[in-house]
Amino acid sequence: MYGTRVKTLQDSISEKKLDAFAIIPSPTMFYLTGLSFHLMERPVVAIFQPTEQPILLLPNLELAKAESTPIDFKFLVYGEDEESRTRAFESASGALGHVQLRIGIEPLRMRAFELDLLKTALPESTFVPASEVITKLRIIKDEGEIEAMRSAVSIAESAMNNTLPLIRNGMTEQELAAELVVQLLRSGSESEVPFSPIVASGPNSALPHAVPSERMLQEGDLLVIDWGARVEGYISDLTRTFAIGEIEEELAQIYHVVKAANAAGTNAIRPGISCSEIDQAARSEITAAGFGKYFIHRTGHGIGLESHEGPYIREDNLELLLPGMTFTVEPGIYLPNKGGVRIEDNVVTTQDGGVSLSTFTRELQTIS
Ligand code: ZN
Ligand code: ZN
C-alpha cells in the first residue's frame, strides 16, 4: 500500500515538472511511509524523486523506528553533533546530484529550520510550494482509510454515550471536557486525540471555537460539544448540541433549522456536484429561516489524517466531489450572547451519493 502511494507520488512529481518533493514529519509523511516522528530540534527530512531511490535523512536514534517502513529508503543518519548533521545534508545533496533542482515542499508544514538546512546544502536549487502534488492523492480515501474513520466515529459515539449520563447541572465545561477525553481513551481512541473537545454552554455556545471554561452548566442552556477520536492516524470530528432543562423557544427553533440544514447538506452529496453546491444546500435552509447572517462559517472541511484538509465545503469552492472524498457537514447558527447550535457529521462520497459515518441521534436531547 505505501509502495503504491509513493509510486503515485513519484508520477505526480514529474507531472508537476518538479525534480523532487521534500517533506518533514507530518500527516503526509505518515500517509506515504507509515512513519511518524515528533517535530523537534533534530531534523527528519524525506526526499522523493520521480525515479531515484527516496532519501530519509534522520538522527541516529530514530533509525530503528525508521527501518520499520516498507519504503526502500536510502537512510542518511547523523549523530548529536552539528558537523555530522551538516555532512548528512551534504550527502543528500550529493545523492540528488548537486544540480539545479526544482524541489516541491508543503508550505503549511515545512519549517524554516529544515528549509534553511536544505537551502544551505542545495544552494543551486529552488524550493516551490507544491501541496497539490500530495493533496490530490490524500483527498481520495481507500477502503482501509474509510474503515479507520468509521472506527474513529464509532469510538467517539460510544465515548459520548458513556459521558452523557455523567452530565449534571452545575458541572463546569472543563470538567465535562475532561470526562469526555477520559471516555474517548477508554473507548479505544489513540492517545493523541485529534483535538481538545469543545464544550460550550449558554452564551459560550454562540462561539464556534469556544474553549471549555469554568462556566457551570445551567437550566436553559444550549450545550455544544465538538469532539473526535483517532484510529490508525485517522480521525472523527463530530458535534452535537444538547439542551439543559427547558430552553427558550427561539433556541429550540434554531436547533430545528440547523438539523434541517445538516440533512440538506448530507442529502445533496453525490459525485460530480461541487463543494459550493453542498454549502448552498445547507446554507439555504438557514437563510430561508431568516438566520443566514448567524451562520458564520463554511459548511464543512475534509477529514482524514487531519481535520484541516480538502475538500473544503465552501461557497466559493467549485471543486467537484469524487467517490472516496470524506468531509464534515457542520452547519451552525450562533446568536450572540444567547446561544448556538451546530450539528456535525462525517460523510463519505460514494459512487451514487453520500453516506454519513455517524449515526448518533440528531434529535434534540434534553439533559435534566
Ligand atoms: Zn468539529
Ligand atoms: Zn469540523
Q: Taking residues 360-364, what's their average pLDDT?
A: 98
Alpha carbon separation from 170 to 29, 179, 221 (Å, rounded): 44, 15, 11
Distance CA 76, CA 57 (A): 5
Q: Taking residues 207-217, what's their average pLDDT?
A: 96
pLDDT in tens, 173-204: 999 999 999 999 999 999 999 999 999 999 99
Q: What is the pLDDT of residue 55?
A: 98
Q: Taking residues 230-235, what's their average pLDDT?
A: 97
CA of 326 relative to ligand 1 center, distance in Å: 14
Ligand at shortest distance from the CA of 228: 1
pLDDT in tens, 111-146: 999 999 999 999 999 999 999 999 999 999 999 999
CA of 224 relative to ligand 1 center, distance in Å: 10
pLDDT in tens, 146-168: 999 999 999 999 999 999 999 99
pLDDT-wise least confident of 94-103, 125-134, 312-321, 333-342: 94-103
CB 194 within 8 A of CB 235: yes
Q: What is the pLDDT of residue 368?
A: 86
Q: Which band of pLDDT confidence, cut at 50, 70 and 90, is reported for residue 52?
A: very high
pLDDT in tens, 273-332: 999 999 999 999 999 999 999 999 999 999 999 988 999 999 999 999 999 999 999 999
Record the pTM.
0.93
CA of 89 relative to ligand 2 center, distance in Å: 39
CA of 50 relative to ligand 1 center, distance in Å: 37
CA of 159 relative to ligand 1 center, distance in Å: 15
Q: Which band of pLDDT confidence, cut at 50, 70 and 90, is reported for residue 50?
A: very high
CA of 277 relative to ligand 1 center, distance in Å: 21
Ligand at shortest distance from the CA of 297: 2
Q: For the packed helices 249-267 and 275-288, what is the interaxial angle rounded to 10 degrees?
A: 150
Q: Is the pLDDT of residue 98 over 80?
A: no
Percentage with pLDDT > 70 across the chain:
100
Q: Which band of pLDDT confidence, cut at 50, 70 and 90, is reported for residue 99?
A: confident
CA of 226 relative to ligand 1 center, distance in Å: 5
Nearest CA to 225 out of 286, 183, 189 is that of: 183
The H or E element that residue 28 is part of is helix 27-33
Neighbouring residues of 127: CB distance < 8 A, sequence distance ≥ 6: 22, 103, 104, 105, 115, 118, 119
CB 205 within 8 A of CB 2: no
Q: What is the pLDDT of residue 308?
A: 84
CA of 238 relative to ligand 2 center, distance in Å: 7
Instruction: Indicate the average pLDDT of the chain.
Output: 97
